[in-house]
Amino acid sequence: MHKDIATPIRTKEILKKYGFSFKKSLGQNFLIDPNVLRNIVSHADLTKDSAAIEVGPGIGALTEHLAREAGKVVSFEIDQRLLPVLEDTLSPYDNIDVIHSDILKADVATVIAEKLSDYKDIVVVANLPYYVTTPILMKLLMEGLSIRAMVVMMQKEVADRISAKPSTKAYGSLSIAVQYYMRAEVVMSVPNTVFMPQPNVDSAVLRLTRHEQPPVVVKDEKFFFQITKAAFSQRRKTLLNNLQSQLPLGKSRKEEILTALASIDIDPRRRGETLSIEEFGKLADVLLPIFK
């Protein structure tokens, strides 16, 4: 086994060798603790029959741990300055492809088809750049990719919001947007001391696992997301008030909305944050004929 990249000494050596300076604007906080990396990777349940997709390899700290456990690793890195570094640090491994690309612009489906067609089990594992956590997750979730799970480090507050249950402060349209696709759980809290440089927010690892059965099957997905956003637009208002003020012509549809709510046994005085994802599904389906 090769010497770990993610020790403070080796990381400093690598940074010095390449004269690398961190770009805060790219969310560059590198992991420098091999135990934390092993722990993250253990939550992905990888075998040599699995492929891992990584966003932002940095200098390869997590990438090499993935390469040891998975059959193949594909990593997307936006920062061109890191390419020669990765070429060097990852040279002991022959099962890693680094792609120089902004993950938000990458055609991930084509990359999977071209590079990972031998793998049925595909998992995303990443220490995400925090400034784009939500767009990255939503892109990977909404593109219909054949991904079993995602094990992703992010700001703790975002991990809490994504995994939140109804009637909690953290529960909102982001919880529903993600939980619609995958089951969400926080599996690790991570101290700031394991990063270089240390971020000034707390971090956590979120595990998302694809539902075997979706929690709701809705008639119109776009409308379902529109309804959840509307219901949370002003958290202190009732569901009825938010629906009326947020949906086009909502004010003039009060009676129809009330009848629709009664038909699925939802009290119009409830707040959006008390509704489960299943209730939002029913709500979207009964409101659809009124607004579409």
| Nearer of residues 56 and 172 to ligand SAM, judged by Cβ | 56
- Residues whose CB is less than 8 angstroms from the CB of residue 107 and which lie 6 or more positions away in sequence, other chains included: none
**What's at 17, amino acid-wise?**
K
Min dist. Cβ of residue 55 to ligand SAM (A): 5
Whether the bond between 197 and the residue before it is cis, its omega within 30 degrees of 0, is yes
Contact region with ligand SAM (CB under 6 A), list: 72-80, 88-96, 113-121, 220-228: 72-80
- Choice from 20, 30, 181, 232 touching ligand SAM (CB under 6 A): 30
Q: Is 135:152 a contact under the CB 8 Å cutoff?
A: no
Quick one: which of 67, 140, 121, 127 has its CA closest to 97? Answer: 67
User: Does 34 engage in binding with ligand SAM (CB under 6 A)?
Assistant: no
Using the contact rule CB under 6 A, the part of the chain among 41-49, 78-86, 158-166, 218-226 near ligand SAM is: 78-86
Pair of tokens at residue 222: 């776009």
Site for ligand SAM contains 55 (CB under 6 A) = yes
Q: Which stretch binds ligand SAM (CB under 6 A): 43-51, 75-83, 268-276, 284-292?
A: 75-83
Between residues 82 and 277, which has the closer beta carbon with respect to ligand SAM? 82
Residue with tokens 């349209």: 173
Tally of CA atoms within 13 A in the half-sphere of 283 that contains its CB: 26
Structure tokens belonging to residue 152: 């992703």
Q: Is 13 annotated as a binding residue?
A: no
Q: Tell me the C-alpha distance between 5 and 224, whole Å.
A: 45
Q: Is position 163 an interface residue for ligand SAM (rule: CB under 6 A)? A: no
Note whether 272 binds ligand SAM by CB under 6 A: no
Determine if 203 is a binding residue for ligand SAM (CB under 6 A).
no
Q: Among the residues of the chain, which ranges form H helices?
A: 8-17, 34-42, 61-69, 82-89, 108-115, 133-142, 156-162, 173-179, 221-231, 239-246, 254-263, 277-291
Using CB under 6 A, which of the segments 96-104, 174-182, 207-215, 241-249 binds ligand SAM? 96-104
| Angstrom distance (rounded) from CA 231 to CA 5 | 47
Interaction of residue 53 with ligand SAM, rule CB under 6 A: no
Asked if residue 31 binds ligand SAM (CB under 6 A), the reply is yes
Contact call for residue 89 and ligand SAM (CB under 6 A) = no
By CB under 6 A, tell whether 104 contacts ligand SAM. Answer: yes
Tokens 């009326």 correspond to: 244
- Using CB under 6 A as the binding rule, whether residue 79 contacts ligand SAM is answered as yes
Residue 82 CB coordination number (10 Å): 23
The piece of 24-32, 163-171, 256-264, 277-285 that touches ligand SAM (CB under 6 A) is 24-32
Binding site for ligand SAM (CB under 6 A): 26-31, 55-58, 61-62, 76-79, 82, 102-104, 127, 129, 132
